[in-house]
Amino acid sequence: MDRRKFTASLAGLAGTLGTGVAGGGNPSPLRGKAEHVISIWLGGGMGALDTFDPKREGDPARKKAGSYYPSIPTAVSDVRVCEHLARMAPRMDRVTAVRTVNHTVIDEHAAATNRMHTGRPVGGSTQYPSLGSVVAHEKGPLEGGVPPYVVIGYPNVTRGPGFLGAKAGYIYLTDTSQGPAGLSRPEQITQPRQNRRNDLLGKLREAGAAERADKVREYDEAIGQLGRLGGPDFLSAFKMDGEPAELRRDYGSEFGQRCLLARRLVERGVRFIEVSHNLNFLNGAGWDVHNEGIKNQHLLIRELDSAFSALLSDLENRRLLDKTLLVITTEFGRPPEFDSGGGRGHQAAAFSCVLAGGGLSHRGAWGATDDSGKKIIQDPVGVPDLFATIYAALGIDTGKNLMDGERPVPLTDMGKPIGALFS
């Protein structure tokens, strides 16, 4: 057997092993029926002890480790959350806080962000695709004339398509009052001027076609898609004035309006929408609550609580919740100890991410950490396992390979879905 065939065989074996099930004994691939993902990104590092995995209360003034806030009961008898998640508490029966996510990147926000978007560590020559790009590649848009992948936040290479190429990329916006820039021709570019540009572009394509036929074709297809997205059908999603005033108030702040826009994009057929929460640094530090940044952390938690609960209820009322998997991710967590300024450092050995809707069998929480929240004592979930769960919920075979040129790459880095959520 030559080297290429041997490599392909190993990759295939890795993919097969990756279809095993965490929390269940059925070795066959799990296939959910969700059609969309709305992923909420909490840049900076959400502390599980102060949100979805509360422990005994601490005291930063006395340097007593523990949660910053009291906890409250939820709709699930043995699951508690922070007091500032009061709107989420009665809805936790539609939610699973995965309390045992873990990886090994502690002090590098950029590297941890990459890990939580691609499911793999930085290294080597391979540029791996993001979660959103894989979903875009595997599922495509649900409707014609819409992109499969939209980022409501700032662009970043970690959100990108990697070796999957431009067709699996995203369009982005930061302002919910208008659509993504670049989809419509600027007013100062007249039609004759646009025609001249198109003629020049055509000549450049012909000149390079022989050497880079695949790349040129891929670029042409991406440009063609952008042209179609400039039409009124897709751009109407960004005209939110028609939404009831009461509903817009329920969603709340600008972040809440981003979540409302995400729901509208789901209705248009977009497969994967990432919504960034930390664009306005409501508390002055975002979720990276070192030192005094923690003092107003409750403002972030309340904003997340109101927007996420409104989104969950809105989707449920429209009978879209079972079709839409809601995800909350962050690059790592925070330890129970307080730093010299009363805030918290970084912790990657155990932290929480959240799943909701998507047709899964939710249970309030999955996995358990010890009394301090520093050590996993039951059902660890690696980042590849979390990704495999999301893919499986969408009906994507977690055992398949993607192709980086002629090289097969397993869909996840040996990830296994959380089988109990599919029972």
pTM, rounded to two decimals: 0.86
Element (H, E) at 364: strand 364-366
pLDDT at position 237: 87
Dist. CA 362–CA 210, nearest whole Å? 53
> What is the average pLDDT across 258-277?
96
361 located within any domain? yes
pLDDT digits (tens, 9 = 90+) for 151-162: 999 889 999 999
Residue 42: the pLDDT is: 96
Residue 420 pLDDT exceeds 90: yes
Q: How confident is the model at residue 14 (pLDDT cuts 50, 70, 90)?
A: very low
- Going from the C-alpha of 203 to that of each of 196, 200, 206, 319, the distances in angstroms are 11, 5, 5, 50
User: What pLDDT, on a 0 to 100 scale, did the predictor assign at position 258?
Assistant: 95
Which domain, by its residues, includes 380?
Answer: 20-184+230-422
**Mean pLDDT across the stretch 293-300?**
93
Q: Is 79 within 8 Å of 368 (Cβ atoms)?
A: no
Q: Name 102's bridge partners.
A: 382
Least confident among 59-73, 284-298, 353-367: 284-298
Residue 170 lies in a domain: yes
| Number of domains, the chain | 1
Domain contains 221: no
Residue listed under structure tokens 């952008």: 226
Q: Are 407 and 128 in contact (CB under 8 A)?
A: no
- Indicate whether 211 belongs to any domain: no
Is there a domain that residue 343 lies in?
Answer: yes
Give domain status of residue 202, yes or no.
Answer: no
Read off the tokens for 341.
């300024």
**Mean per-residue pLDDT, 387-409:** 96
Q: What band does 27 get if pLDDT is binned at 50, 70 and 90?
A: low
pLDDT at 29: 80
| CATH code of 264's domain | 3.40.720.10
* CB contact at 8 A, 228 and 169: no
Q: What is the pLDDT of residues 86-109, one digit of tens each?
A: 999 999 999 999 999 999 998 899
The token pair at 390 is 């999301």
More confident residue, 346 or 220: 346
Q: How many CB atoms lie within 10 A of CB 127?
A: 14
Average pLDDT of every residue of the chain: 87
Domain assignment present for residue 198? The answer is no
Task: State the virtual CA torsion across 295, 296, 297, 302 in degrees, nearest 10.
Answer: 140
